[in-house]
Structure 1
Amino acid sequence: MPGSRRSQRQRAIAELRAQGRYGPELRDVLPGFVGLGLAVAVPVFALVWLYRVLGIEGLVLGVALLAAATTVGLRWHRAVVRRRGGIYTPAEIAVLDDQVLAAAAERILRRDSWHVISMPDQGRPRLYARDRAGRQLDVAFRPDNMAPDDEDAPAGPAPLREAGRPGIDNLIRVVISRGSYSRTDVVWASRQGGVHLVDGRQLQ
């Protein structure tokens, strides 16, 4: 026995939504309309109030303030959109902490068409990435205030390997730090195969 008209309509809507052919409902778009209305109404009421209190000088002052606020807001919005797209200025990179630096690295990799998965390791940020060519990255982050430990450096000559060459397991390991690496760090990385150190200057 067929269901009621309401249940049939709900099923039809569900099918259309599953196919991506059904638009949003009023409750989905209402917050946006309310926000847009407030964004228009508040400045208008502010300008009217300034005009009533200060006259034409108040109106001119209000327009100038509104123009300045709009300019600042547009610049801020553009900067946010740019960073979300994985584009950072050297000054922005220089002030990122470890967690935000990991998010920035993830956005940069996604910008360059890498598929990225966040895989934190013992509370430290860590990323795994793979591109269309099958290359794999294991991206770790070292605090920029971590002092290098020369005692851990193996003795003997350090054969430098070709840049970009993966390790034995075909995994390219990248260690990122906003600070700098010591010679010991570079020597250690050169012996591992597939380990690449990225310091603050390279990031910027």
Structure 2
Amino acid sequence: MPGSRRSQRQRAVSELRAQGRYGPDLSDVLPAFVGLAFAVTGLVAFLVWLHRTWGGGGLALGVVVLAAATVVGLRWRRTVARRRGGIYTAAELVRLDDSGLAVAAARMLRRDGWQVVDLTVREARPRLYARDRRGRELDVAFRPVALADEDEVTEGPAPLREAGRPGVDRLIRVVVHLGTFSRADVLWASRQGGVHLLDGHQLRRWADGASLEELGLSG
């Protein structure tokens, strides 16, 4: 069938891109190459100027400064790549605001193989929809980050609490919170269908690389 191979390849590429596993196009990397060329040219010109102005001492100082800047830049780049891959430290989590927490959760879901859609409406609480290859669907909501400071700190693990069976629509609902859920929250969740409460302790484990299944999510 004419064009069938091409159409199959296009579908495969589209699926890989949707999963974030397809490499960048030339249009994606060209600006980076152009920027790198300008940066190298600028650095060479800077070192030449230092040498002409201050001699060998100025050149040595310039090399030291550039080396230090390179180390800092590489560390920053690795940190950014780690976060984009869905891995966060506990210190990074506590610095997130409401929208930042939603972005982090979306990255963690994609890391675990979920396809994620941001359903957040302007000036509304963040909300995510996710679906995996098994057909499971998640509705992810978030408690305000500011409320985490008002929670009492508790020691020991706080497991992901499953409240009943999935609801009629088979949608698994997850509520994410940086702090701890109160007894009233747990009681409310126990009266709902398919609601999971993901508190700060489990959130840190999730951000460190554990999957939702390892935290007790089923369905």
TM-score (structure 2 length as normaliser): 0.69
Q: Is the 8 A contact 2:163 2:195 kept in 1?
A: no
Q: Is the 8 A contact 1:143 1:179 kept in 2?
A: no
Q: Is the 8 A contact 1:144 1:180 kept in 2?
A: no
Identity of aligned residues (%): 63
Q: Distance in 2 between matches of 1:129 and 1:106?
A: 8
- Partner-residue secondary structure (3-state), 2:145: coil
Q: Are 2:64 and 1:57 equivalent residues in the alignment? A: no
**1:100 corresponding residue in structure 2:** 100
Residue ranges of structure 2 left out of the alignment (5+ in a row): 1-5, 14-24, 149-160, 205-219
Displacement of 1:146 in angstroms is 3.9
**2:201 corresponding residue in structure 1:** 201
Q: Is the 8 A contact 1:118 1:128 kept in 2?
A: yes
Cα-to-partner distance string for 1:38-88 (whole Å, 9 max, x where unaligned) = 110111111112222222111111111101101111111111111111111
Q: Is the 8 A contact 1:174 1:197 kept in 2?
A: yes
May I ask how many residue pairs the two structures share in their alignment?
170
- Partner-residue secondary structure (3-state), 1:55: helix
- Partner-residue secondary structure (3-state), 2:191: helix
- Cα 1:134–1:124, aligned 2, differ >3 Å: closer, same or farther? same
Structure 1 residue ranges, 4+ long, deviating more than 3 angstroms after superposition: 31-34, 161-165
Cα-to-partner distance string for 1:119-156 (whole Å, 9 max, x where unaligned) = 12562211111111111111001103349xxxxxxxxx
- Partner-residue secondary structure (3-state), 1:44: helix
- Partner-residue secondary structure (3-state), 1:129: strand
**1:116 corresponding residue in structure 2:** 116
Which amino acid in 2 is paired with 1:135?
R
Q: Is the 8 A contact 2:163 2:190 kept in 1?
A: no
- Partner-residue secondary structure (3-state), 2:172: strand
Which amino acid in 2 is paired with 1:188?
W
- Partner-residue secondary structure (3-state), 1:117: strand
**1:139 corresponding residue in structure 2:** 140
Q: Distance in 2 between matches of 1:51 and 1:162?
A: 67
- Partner-residue secondary structure (3-state), 2:180: coil
**2:74 corresponding residue in structure 1:** 74
Q: Distance in 2 between matches of 1:73 and 1:145?
A: 32
Relative contact order: is structure 1 or structure 2 higher (C-alpha 8 Å, sep ≥ 6)?
A: 2
Q: Distance in 2 between matches of 1:167 and 1:145?
A: 29
TM-score (structure 1 length as normaliser): 0.73
Between stretches 93-102 and 178-187, larger displacement belongs to 178-187
User: Which one has a bigger Cα radius of gyration?
Assistant: 1
Which amino acid in 1 is paired with 2:81?
V
**1:45 corresponding residue in structure 2:** 45
